[in-house]
């Protein structure tokens, strides 16, 4: 048994002394645990979806609707003064989507019991389809909620009912049976909201139900029921839900994607193609970092370092190799995307600029990683792990919307985030040169920093 | 004006022949002194062997001589070329690192052409073929290096060092892990390079190699150069007398230290009870033992 213990102790010591192992055994799992824990754990998604709202109505119901949206834990409402500004936010990726509450929001809402339907214009970022589905559901849900809240104010409810009766009377094409059904519905609603006697009866009925443990109260009044009507709390929730379920869909969300807004054909590959480029660049980084580390461990670096050339030339030669391979990856993927997948590029000059900058950043990153990771094994394994973490943080694997605020802020440190944004900016986001400036600048800084680290590492190895 | 030149004396001749000069080199890694005040010169046409066990500081010395490591103190000078930091000096040196510094995925020819370009060789392909021919690898020039045997890879490693006909060769244990046959051919090649005028600094921990190849040997231990000289000089200074070991019947063994071993052998051969006879000549192992108090093979 002594021998077995000795072997086990030896292996544990080896594990502890190898920094690559230490990284994989401790740092990497910790990073993964923190990342996914943050994504799926406490505080998930709080204010994670940024929604630009253009309220062209500003009526009581429209405002109530916006307030209801703001109360949703996953939403962060960004009011915008104009359609253009909202579109810009979506195009830049600052907002996941924009909604436009039409000028007749309140007018249509007041006729909802007689078939009125509010149409909300919805402009989404096509690269964030996961958020789009979530948002669509939320918009519909909040429409119902706003209407429920409206019924909590008897004054507003009565107004809704009277306007609906009026609309019903003048509705020209309604089938008799349908007209009869809606009239019956309005009568039923009247007993709930308008008739004091009916209200008392309903109240008593509700109390009776309450004794049996059913949920009967609705809390969280909308601002415009501040008239203090005590009947508000006595309206049965299930009754209202039943009443509303008989109505046609109140909020219709007219979906539109940003690509359509910018008059370009939408193509799902246009969205996945920038991400493909980022992953291709990651492959280049790891391969080059490993090959540089291999040169060092095999001794070929000695030959390079003792050749009658400057050390900077050696680094530059390595950098050029990596840069070229990054460019080849981008060119090949672009070629495939354009010819086979029919991706349409909005701005070729900006794509060229973005590609060169991405290649610059990632080749600098490869040099930096080769400087940090001294052996081929650590460059390949730990390098891949680091890149994977950067890809995850940068939104390469999990949509940013599903990340907690601190991770979304942290995504700014990931070159993947900026690489994807810059390529998307040129391909379908319709970025101007000024809008491209920030991601490009950050990528240039990443490239320079990486190269600087490699120079430092080479200097350090001389000591 | 008439300039009177004095005739060259021995010092002048040695200066003119001197190719590499290391003066008072010191290098520490943390609290470990890897090289401690090492000074030596290597002359043209000479193979200078640095003999010492692993960890003696030989490779660190080579790294400083190449300018790969910055010494804590001391200087390195390639006579006539300057410090290894200068491109001219680096063009005059060829190096065979301890590891096989070649690219496995490239052929022997591609490896050498690449290194030739780095070294500024005028016709890299021609130089590559010449070097491959010299180490006997020309028939395998087009094969990838990963298909070479261990000995062939070592020869390719050496070919990369001699590609540009350097005046100075720094060879760091170039025969490590090589079979005896390949080792013999490598030593022969190094000897011929020195005979052609190259100055060779050769590190090894093989006594036989140092004795067979080196004109002068420096004994290294714990970063210090303990003594320098020709093999016979070192033996004369630190070697014991030749030992004649005579085995007699009844498991009796006698050791006779003598300056005239042949006389002792002849005497033993006339005795009736002698059943075995062995002569032990002193070698560099004996010298190392005398200088350090331990065997080189420890």
If you write DSSP's letter for every residue of A205-216 in order, what string do you get?
Answer: HHHHHHHTT---
Q: What average pLDDT does this structure show over B38-45?
A: 94
Contacts of A300 in chain B (CB under 8 A): 101-103
Provide the CA B27 distance to its chain's centre, in angstroms.
21
pLDDT at A188: 74
Q: Is A347 left (phi over 0), alpha (psi -120 to 50) or beta?
A: beta
Q: Is A459 on the interface with B (CB under 8 A)?
A: no
pLDDT confidence of residue A292: 83
Mutate to test the interface with B, among A291, A293, A296, A303 (most CBs of B within 10 A): A303
Q: Chain A closest CA to B118's CA: distance in Å?
A: 6
Considering only residues B279 and A117, tell me which one the structure prediction assigns the higher pLDDT: B279
Alpha carbon distances (Å) from A159 to A102, A148, A189, B138: 20, 14, 12, 100
Nearest CA in chain A to B103: A300
Which residues in chain B are closer than 8 Å to A305, comparing Cβ atoms? 66, 68
Which residue in chain A is spatially nearest to B99 when comparing CA positions?
A299
Give B216's contacts (C-beta < 8 A, 6+ positions apart).
Answer: B46, B47, B48, B49, B228, B229, B230
Contacts of A376 in chain B (CB under 8 A): none
Measured CA to CA, the distance from residue B290 to residue B292 in angstroms comes to 6
B255 forms bridges with which residues in the sheet? B245
The residue in chain A having the minimum alpha-carbon distance to the alpha carbon of residue B114 is A304
- Top residue of A292, A297, A304, A308 to mutate, by most chain B CBs within 10 Å, is A308
Between residues 278 and 307 of chain A, which touch chain B (CB distance below 8 Å)? 297-300, 302-307
Q: pLDDT per residue over B105-114, tens digit each? A: 899 999 999 9
For A307, which of B88, B100, B118 is closest by C-beta distance? B118
First to last CA, chain B: 65
3-state secondary structure B185-251: HHHHHHHHHHHCCCEEEEEECCHHHHHHHCCEEEEEECCEEEEEECHHHHHHHHCCCEEEEEEECCC
Look at A240 and B128; give whichever has higher pLDDT: B128
Q: Which residues of A touch B68 (CB under 8 A)?
A: 302, 305-306, 462
Test mutation, B95, B100, B162, B171, chain A, max A CBs within 10 A = B95
| Whole-angstrom distance, CA of residue B162 vs CA of residue A457 | 30
Strand order in the sheet with A49-55: A75-79, A49-55, A97-101, A118-124, A251-257
Nearest CB among A299, A310, A463 relative to B101 is that of: A299
Q: How far is B162 from chain A (nearest CA, A)?
A: 12
* Residue B118 with chain A: CB contacts under 8 Å: 303-304, 307-309
The answer to whether the CB atoms of A300 and B103 lie below 8 A apart is: yes
Long-range CB contacts for residues A79-86, cutoff 8 Å, separation at least 24: A79/A52, A79/A53, A79/A54, A79/A55, A80/A52, A80/A53, A80/A54, A81/A54, A82/A54, A83/A54, A85/A52, A86/A52, A86/A53, A86/A54, A86/A123
Give the Cα-Cα-Cα angle B5, B6, B8 (nearest 5 degrees): 115
The partner residues of A100 in beta bridges, in order of sequence, read A54, A121
Least confident range of B68-82, B156-170, B202-216, B283-297:
B283-297
Residues of B with CB under 8 A from a CB of A: 66-70, 84, 87-88, 90-91, 93, 95, 97-103, 115, 118-120, 160
Q: Which chain B residues are Cβ-neighbours of A302 within 8 angstroms?
A: 66, 68, 95, 97, 101
Res. B172: pLDDT tops 60: yes
Q: Is the pLDDT of residue B277 over 80?
A: yes
CA distance B7 to chain A (A): 37
Q: Across the interface, which of A297, A310, A462 has its CB nearest the CB of B68? A: A462
Q: Which DSSP helix (H) or strand (E) runs through B289? A: helix B284-292
Axis crossing angle, helix B150-162 with helix B180-195, rounded to the nearest 10: 10
First to last CA, chain A: 45
Q: In this structure, are residues B51 and B227 in contact, taking their beta carbons and an 8 Å threshold?
A: no
CA angle A428, A429, A435 (to 5 degrees): 135
3 state SS of A80 = coil
Report the percent of chain B where pLDDT is more than 90. 55
Backbone angles phi, psi at A37, to 5 degrees: -60, -40
Among B68, B88, B94, most A C-beta atoms within 10 A, so best to mutate, is B68
pLDDT for A394: 82
Q: How sure is the predictor about B116, in pLDDT bands with cuts at 50, 70 and 90?
A: very high
Cβ distance A306 to B95 less than 8 Å, yes or no, reads: yes
**Model ipTM?**
0.82
Calculate how close chain B gets to A459, using CA atoms only, in Å.
10
With contact defined as beta carbons under 8 Å apart, do A56 and A101 qualify? Answer: yes
Q: What would the mean pLDDT of B256-266 be, rounded to a whole number?
A: 85
| Residue A304 to residue B118, Cβ atoms within 8 A | yes
| Number of cross-chain residue pairs from A and B with Cβ atoms under 8 Å apart | 53
Locate all alpha helices (DSSP H) within B138-202, ordered by sequence. 150-162, 180-195
For B181-210, the pLDDT digits (tens) are 888 989 999 999 999 999 999 999 888 999
pLDDT in tens, chain A (463 residues): 667 677 777 666 766 666 666 666 666 666 666 666 666 654 445 556 888 999 888 788 888 888 888 888 778 889 999 888 888 888 877 888 889 988 888 877 776 666 667 888 888 877 777 777 778 888 888 877 777 777 776 777 777 777 777 777 766 677 777 777 777 777 777 776 655 444 444 444 434 444 444 333 333 333 333 343 434 444 455 555 555 555 556 677 777 766 544 545 456 777 778 888 888 888 888 888 888 888 888 888 888 888 888 888 888 888 888 899 899 989 988 998 888 888 888 899 999 999 999 999 999 999 998 888 877 777 888 888 888 888 888 877 766 656 666 777 778 889 998 998 899 889 888 889 999 999 999 999 999 999 999 888 877 776 6
Q: Where are the alpha helices (DSSP H) in A250-345?
A: 258-261, 268-298, 300-306, 311-339
Tokens 């190094």: give the residue: B190
Residues B151 and B179: beta-carbon distance below 8 Å: yes
Q: What residues contact residue A377 under an 8 Å CB cut-off, 6+ apart?
A: A20
Confidence of residue B24 (pLDDT cuts 50, 70, 90): very high
Residue to test with chain A: of B66, B88, B101, most A Cβ within 10 A: B101
Do B115 and A462 lie within an 8 Å CB cutoff? no
Strand B18-29 and strand B73-78: the pairing is: antiparallel
* A309 touches B at CB < 8 Å: yes
For residues A371 and B215, the model is more confident at B215
As a whole number of angstroms, the distance between CA B275 and CA A83 comes to 112
Give the β-pairing of B216-221 and B224-229: antiparallel
Q: Do A299 and B68 touch (CB under 8 A)?
A: no
Residue pointed to by tokens 């709390």: A233
Chain B neighbors of A307, CB-CB under 8 A? 90, 115, 118-119
State the Cα–Cα distance between residues B48 and A319, nearest whole angstrom.
39
Q: pLDDT per residue over B148-166, tens digit each?
A: 998 999 999 999 999 999 9
A291 CA to chain B: closest CA distance, Å?
A: 11
Q: What is the pLDDT of residue A383?
A: 84
pLDDT computed for residue A18 by the predictor: 66
Which tokens hold the place of A31?
């990073």
């Amino acid at each position: 048994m002594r021998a077995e213990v000795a072997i086990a102790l030896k292996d544990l010591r080896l594990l502890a002394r190898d920094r690559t192992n230490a990284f994989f055994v401790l740092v990497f799992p910790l990073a993964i645990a923190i990342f996914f824990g943050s994504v799926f754990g406490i505080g998930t998604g709080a204010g994670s979806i940024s929604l630009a709202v253009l309220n062209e109505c500003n009526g009581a119901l429209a405002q109530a609707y916006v307030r209801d949206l703001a109360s949703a834990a996953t939403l962060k409402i960004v009011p915008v003064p104009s359609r253009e500004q909202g579109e810009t936010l979506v195009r830049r990726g600052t907002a996941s989507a924009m909604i436009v509450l039409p000028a007749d929001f309140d007018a249509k809402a007041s006729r909802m019991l007689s078939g009125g339907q509010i149409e909300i214009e919805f402009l989404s970022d096509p690269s964030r389809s996961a958020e789009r589905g979530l948002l669509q559901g939320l918009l519909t849900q909040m429409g119902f909620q706003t209407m429920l809240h409206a019924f909590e104010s008897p004054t507003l409810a009565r107004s809704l009912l009277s306007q609906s009766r009026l609309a019903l009377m003048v509705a020209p094409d309604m089938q008799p049976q349908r007209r009869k059904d809606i009239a019956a519905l309005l009568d039923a609603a009247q007993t709930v909201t308008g008739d004091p006697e009916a209200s008392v009866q309903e109240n008593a009925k509700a109390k009776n139900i309450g004794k049996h443990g059913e949920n009967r109260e609705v809390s969280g009044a909308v601002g415009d029921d501040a008239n203090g009507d005590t009947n508000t709390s006595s309206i049965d929730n299930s009754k209202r839900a039943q009443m509303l379920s008989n109505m046609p869909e109140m909020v219709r969300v007219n979906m539109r994607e940003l690509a359509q807004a910018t008059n370009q054909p939408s193509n799902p590959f246009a969205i996945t193609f920038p991400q493909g480029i980022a992953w291709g660049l990651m492959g280049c980084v790891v391969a080059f970092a490993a090959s540089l580390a291999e040169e060092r461990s095999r001794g070929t670096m000695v030959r390079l370092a003792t050749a009658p050339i400057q050390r900077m030339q050696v680094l530059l030669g390595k950098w050029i190799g990596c840069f070229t391979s990054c460019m080849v990856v981008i060119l090949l993927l672009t070629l495939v995307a354009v010819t086979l997948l029919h991706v349409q590029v909005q701005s070729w000059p900006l794509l060229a600029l973005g590609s060169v900058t991405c290649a610059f950043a990632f080749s600098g990153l490869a040099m930096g990683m080769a400087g940090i990771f001294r052996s081929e094994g650590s460059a390949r394994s730990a390098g891949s792990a680091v890149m994977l973490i950067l890809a995850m943080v940068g939104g390469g694997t999990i949509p940013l919307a599903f990340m907690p605020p601190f991770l979304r802020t942290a995504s700014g440190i990931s070159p993947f985030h900026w690489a994807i944004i810059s390529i998307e900016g040129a391909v379908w986001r319709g970025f101007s040169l000024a809008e491209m400036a920030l991601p490009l600048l950050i990528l240039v800084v990443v490239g320079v920093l990486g190269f600087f680290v490699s120079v430092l590492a080479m200097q350090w190895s001389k000591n | 004006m008439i300039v009177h030149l004095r005739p060259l004396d021995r010092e002048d001749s040695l200066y003119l022949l001197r190719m590499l000069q290391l003066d008072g080199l010191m290098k520490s890694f943390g609290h470990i002194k890897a090289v401690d005040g090492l000074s030596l010169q290597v002359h043209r046409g000479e193979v200078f062997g640095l003999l010492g066990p692993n960890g003696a500081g030989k490779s660190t010395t080579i790294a400083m001589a190449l300018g790969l490591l910055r010494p804590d103190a001391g200087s390195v000078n390639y006579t006539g070329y300057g410090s290894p930091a200068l491109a001219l000096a680096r063009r005059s040196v060829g190096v065979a690192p301890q590891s096989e510094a070649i690219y496995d995925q490239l052929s022997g020819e591609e490896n050498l052409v690449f290194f030739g370009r780095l070294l500024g060789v005028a016709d890299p392909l021609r130089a590559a073929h010449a070097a491959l021919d010299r180490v006997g690898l020309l028939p395998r020039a087009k094969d990838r290096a990963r298909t070479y045997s261990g000995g062939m890879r070592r020869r390719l490693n050496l070919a990369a060092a001699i590609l540009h006909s350097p005046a100075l060769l720094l060879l760091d244990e170039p025969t490590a892990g090589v079979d005896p046959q390949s080792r013999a051919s490598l030593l022969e090649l190094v000897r011929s390079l020195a005979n052609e005028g190259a100055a060779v600094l050769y590190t090894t921990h093989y006594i036989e190699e140092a004795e067979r190849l080196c004109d002068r040997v420096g004994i290294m231990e714990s970063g210090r150069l303990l003594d320098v000289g020709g093999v016979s000089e070192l033996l004369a200074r630190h070697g014991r007398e030749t030992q004649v070991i005579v085995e007699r019947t009844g498991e009796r063994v006698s050791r006779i230290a003598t300056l005239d071993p042949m006389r002792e052998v002849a005497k033993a051969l006339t005795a009736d009870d002698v059943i075995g006879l062995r002569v032990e000549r002193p070698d560099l192992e004996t010298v190392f033992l005398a200088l350090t108090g331990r065997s080189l093979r420890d």
